[in-house]
A = this chain, B = another copy of it.
């Protein structure tokens, strides 16, 4: 059963495991156990653990823009600035239970040897994808007069998302999103002048 749909499912839950446990702490046996595969099936389907991770990351990335747009729109808010705020606050609130994949993947980098560079590239691409997906909403908020027009929407989106990365780092150690939410609020407030 090498159905494409199943493969994607395995990759997704594998990535999820990597995110919560890290690279070295997650054994192939556990991936197999969780996904209901056996080791034979695993090594038949994938080259090795490293390539499994890489494929998982790449598959995840392909669905990301769609995912972000969904999250941005499904907040039920009409104004762009509120959709933005809601998006980030949601992302923070779900952390660390659900975790935020990109950041976690990045955090695993120090564990990885050879594929370090590749994962780094993937993370960098991921950042760009986020910015690309969020930028239109930022621009909309600027046109609404809710964010300052003095900065280009691209640069502003980069700033917002960089700060978000920072709040994630903090949230992880605090195991609470509270402080991060406060900081994001403060940033939006600053950018509204």
A-side residues, CB < 8 A to B, are 19-25, 103-104, 106-111, 113, 117, 119-121, 123-124, 127, 148, 150-151, 155-156, 158-159, 161-170, 172-175, 179-180, 182-183, 186-187, 189-191, 193
Contacts and interface: CB of A to CB of B under 8 A. Distances in A.
Majority secondary structure of chain A interface residues (helix, strand, loop or mixed): helix
Contact of A109 (B120, B163, B173): B173
6 contacts: A104-B110, A124-B170, A124-B174, A155-B186, A162-B167, A190-B191
A150 B191 CA distance: 13
- Number of copies of this protein chain within its complex: 2
Contacts of A164: 166
Nearest to A165: B166
Given A110-B25, A191-B190, A169 B165 contact: yes
Contact of A162 (B108, B150, B170, B175): B170
B183 A24 contact: no
A150 to B, nearest CB: 8
A120 B172 CA distance: 7
Contacts of A121: 173
A111 B190 contact: no
A182 B158 CA distance: 10
